[in-house]
Amino acid sequence: MKSTPMTEFDTAFAEDTFKGLINFPKYLLSKYIYNEKGDKLFQKIMEMPEYYLTNCEKEILEEHTAAIADSFNGPQGFDIIELGAGDGKKTKILLRHLAEKKYNFTYQPVDISQHVLDELEETLAKEMPQVEVKTQQGTYFKTLERLADYNTRKKIIMVLGSNIGNLLHKDAINFLKNIQNSMSADDMLFMGFDQKKHPQKILNAYNDPAGITEAFNKNHLERINIELEADFDTKNFLHWESYNPETGTAKSFLVSKIAQKVNIKKLDLKVSFEAWETIHTEISQKYDDAVVDWLASEAGLAIENSFSDGENYYKNYVFRKSNQGNPKA
């Protein structure tokens, strides 16, 4: 594939798409699947019977609501800052309990999608008007730069849905380090980690027979078509999922069924695909206690507690800053 290198891009989406599709092997960043259509498709995925993660974490929040709420509390109250809030369905379980018990707190959902934040703010205003909500649109990393400014009282940094699983271990450690750097001694990180389990259970969660996950994965190509004036034919791509039980890594791909060329007008780029060539679109990492403990220690954090569903498919861990000094360089 030959193309003239671009030096200027209108958006980060354009730049990241260009970089991913001229790379070998090709890749696309999963965060860009989440436009308005992608948000709705992911909400459907979370309702699928095969996608066990949602119900497992929902069970944890329902069964351990009071204990989790008590661990959140501080002398002057607390601020919940949720990274990747999405539609907030599971979070509302906690918010409802906190509001009913008159805890002194604010809720600050953060998401890359302004669309889901607007919907979340609207539904919370109707369902729990007594909850003070301050939405923030942006990526995790931009938000983390501002987190240290919240230092007047205890803050709870919350990441549900095993979103950390979208990061390779080295990137997950950097992510956790950034969180740790923004925390004071009294602050807390409450984060979900999908656990290792029967490989078929994991594969089924990302390859549903209804094709919702396939549509979600292919939505990335549709977004490129719309925003970057490309001519991807999604019927020429196969959604494929793999899982390595040794590393705990599930990977999603789009596989070109035929040799083809795609023109992306706004990038002045023609992309050639061989038959059965792949685009790597997402990883979903799975964990056990030893791996989570290692990630935390590398980032200067320590596990204080954890909550699990009845099948031990999923865990929410409570972390605090470690007493052993700064994280490793």
pLDDT at residue 327 in the model: 59
Question: 178 and 121 in one domain?
Answer: yes
Q: Which helix (H) or strand (E) holds 264?
A: strand 260-264
Closest CA to 158 of 282, 316, 315: 316
Same domain, 112 and 208: no
Side chain identity at residue 282, one-letter code: E
On average, the pLDDT of the chain sits at 92
Q: Residue 4: inside a domain, yes or no?
A: no
Q: Residue 41 in 3-state DSSP? A: helix
- Extract the tokens encoding 178: 């950034």
**Residue 135 φ/ψ, nearest 5 degrees:** -80, 150
* pLDDT per residue as tens digits for the range 50-83: 999 999 999 999 999 999 999 999 999 999 999 9
Sheet hosting strand 249-256, strand order edge to edge: 26-27, 278-285, 249-256, 237-244
Per-residue pLDDT tens over the stretch 76-105? 999 999 998 888 889 999 999 999 999 999
Give a yes or no: residue 57 inside a domain: no
142: confidence class by pLDDT, cuts 50, 70, 90: confident
Same domain, 104 and 253: no
Instruction: Note the pTM of the prediction, 2 decimals.
Output: 0.88
Number of Cβ within a 10 Å radius of residue 220: 26
Residues 280 and 295 both lie in one domain:
no
Q: What is the pLDDT of residue 5?
A: 57
d(CA 134, CA 137): 10
Residue 44 and residue 130 in one domain:
no
Q: Are residues 108 and 127 in the same domain?
A: yes
- 255-309 per-position pLDDT tens digit: 999 999 999 999 999 999 999 999 999 999 999 999 999 999 999 999 999 999 9
Based on the domain organization, do 146 and 84 belong to the same domain?
yes
Helix (H, G, I), strand (E, B) or coil at 326: coil
Which of 96, 197, 108 lies closest to 147 in space, CA to CA?
Answer: 108
Phi, psi of 134 (to 5 degrees): -130, 100
Q: Are residues 158 and 234 in the same domain?
A: no
Q: What is the mean pLDDT of residues 216-231?
A: 97
Number of domain units in the chain: 2
Same domain membership, residue 313 and residue 169 = yes
- CATH code for position 95: 3.40.50.150
Q: Is residue 58 one of the residues assigned to a domain?
A: no
Which domain, by its residues, includes 242? Answer: 12-48+201-285
Could you read off the pLDDT of 189-204 as tens digits, one per residue?
999 999 999 999 999 9
Q: Are residues 100 and 72 in the same domain?
A: yes
